[in-house]
Amino acid sequence: MESLALLATIISIANIALLFTLIMTYLKIYKTGKAVYTLGLLFFAAILMLHNIIAVYAYIVMAPLYSNELLPYFVAIHLAELVGIAALVKVTLD
């Protein structure tokens, strides 16, 4: 596997871990408050997690099909996601 594809995969796995933390936190909040807003946050986090799971699968299974010129953009996209999700985790857990 190309090193940038591996890096994108690792970043996506980190995104999945953070999103799992968010989903568990939102589930606990929803159980106590039953707020519709929390359901929206759960849906958003679940869809974003699905995106990252599909990305990891694609990087592992279809790595030879990706052009090397695209890989830096994939890394940048997943890195931007990681920063955003990390900020959301920090705000949620504080």
For the cut 80, the answer to whether the pLDDT of residue 85 exceeds it is yes
Count the domains in the chain.
1
For the cut 90, the answer to whether the pLDDT of residue 66 exceeds it is no
For the cut 90, the answer to whether the pLDDT of residue 64 exceeds it is no
What average pLDDT score do residues 34-42 get? 93
- As a whole number of angstroms, the distance between CA 25 and CA 38 comes to 10
Mean pLDDT of the chain: 94
Judged by average pLDDT, the poorest of 27-31, 67-71, 84-88 is 67-71
What average pLDDT score do residues 67-81 get? 94
For the cut 80, the answer to whether the pLDDT of residue 1 exceeds it is no
Domain that holds residue 88: 3-93
pLDDT at residue 38, rounded to an integer: 94
